[in-house]
Amino acid sequence: MIKSIDTGVLFMFFSALLSALNGAVAKMLGDEMSALEIVFFRNIFGVIFIMIALYHTRPTLPGGNIRLLIWRGVFGFSAMLFFFYTITTIPLGEAVTLNKTSPLFVTILAFFILHEKLSLLGIFALLLGFLGVVLITKPLGMEVGLPHFLGLLGGLLAAAAYTTIRKIKHIYDSRVIVLSFMGTGVVIPFFLFLISEYYAPQTLDFLLAKFIMPTDPKIWVLLFFMGITATLSQWLLTKAYSASMAGIIGIVSYIIIPFSIFFGILLGDNFPDTYTLLGIGLIVLSGLLVKKG
């Protein structure tokens, strides 16, 4: 059991690192592209990489529950779209923090759907991690609006996607699960682009945006980089939730917050204040406690 948990934690650690790096790149791209375009191009490259991997080494698991596989893709795409929208409209730290409510939702969904349980120490660690998120977010200083609401909704949808992985991990190869997510992230935006040519009100700019082909070589380099790291991050995330309990991996995933703060500093953000540093410490401590629990 300990070996299994350690493996899942390791997968989640590197998945969070790559995901934070993707968030920083998305922030850079947000000045040139809509969130829908970022999601579209990110997933196109991901689909290509996964298809090459599947062609090289064919999956051996039988499959058989296409409905849940599709739902995993829909949940994952929706969560990604809302996440990238918040990244391009509010500070990176706030966007990532709102998205990291997903482990809280994962624990709730895992309890009701997967019948997983955490010890009292694990529950305490969960609350401790949430307190750390509050300290980093500084909710009294946030101007709550549509982006913040969509950020929370994205966290819920991400939790639904992660929980679905637990239901299909024994019948689908992890690459096939990632492909369902990234394939959905290509197909749905394609139709949204078509709709946007005729109907794209400003109030729905988080969902409908006209397609504009990038011409700057720098943009293409960043998009290609996002495709590679995003594919690796999703594969590692899928492996993490397949190797360990959803609640435990959900807590460990909080480590994306200090990673994101670090990349934010590289992009020009201020060094974290005392409350932020304390929040990071509580999140790390919660991860250690839940592992023992």
3-state SS of 212-235 is CCCCCHHHHHHHHHHHHHHHHHHH
Q: What is the phi-psi region of residue 115: left when phi exceeds 0, alpha when psi lies from -120 to 50, beta otherwise?
A: left
Report the amino acid identity of residue 277.
L
How far does CA 170 lie from the centroid of its chain? Answer: 22
Answer yes or no: are the C-beta atoms of 236 and 228 closer than 8 Å.
no
The two most distant CA atoms of the chain are separated, in Å, by: 55
**Residue-level pLDDT at 194:** 92
Answer yes or no: are the C-beta atoms of 92 and 264 closer than 8 Å.
yes
**76 phi/psi in degrees, rounded to 5:** -65, -45
Q: Which two tokens stand for residue 147?
A: 């982006």
Map residue 70 onto helix, strand or coil.
helix
**Residue-level pLDDT at 2:** 47
**168 phi/psi in degrees, rounded to 5:** -120, 5
**Residue-level pLDDT at 1:** 45
**Residue-level pLDDT at 22:** 87
Which residues are CB-neighbours of 133 under 8 A, at least 6 positions away? Answer: 97, 100, 101, 254, 257, 279, 283
Which residues are CB-neighbours of 89 under 8 A, at least 6 positions away? Answer: 147
> Please, what sign has the CA dihedral across residues 203, 268, 276, 138?
negative
**Residue-level pLDDT at 188:** 92
pLDDT in tens, the chain (293 residues): 444 456 888 888 899 899 889 888 888 888 888 889 998 988 888 888 889 988 888 888 887 888 989 998 999 899 988 988 888 777 777 778 777 777 667 776 777 776 777 677 767 877 887 787 677 666 555 545 677 778 878 888 888 887 888 788 889 888 888 898 889 999 999 999 999 988 878 777 778 888 888 888 999 999 888 878 877 887 888 788 777 776 677 677 778 888 888 887 887 777 777 876 787 777 667 766 755 55
Q: What is the phi-psi region of residue 138: left when phi exceeds 0, alpha when psi lies from -120 to 50, beta otherwise?
A: left
**Residue-level pLDDT at 201:** 83
pTM score:
0.76
Can you tell me the distance from the alpha carbon of 245 to that of 80, in angstroms, rounded to the nearest whole number? 23
Map residue 65 onto helix, strand or coil.
coil
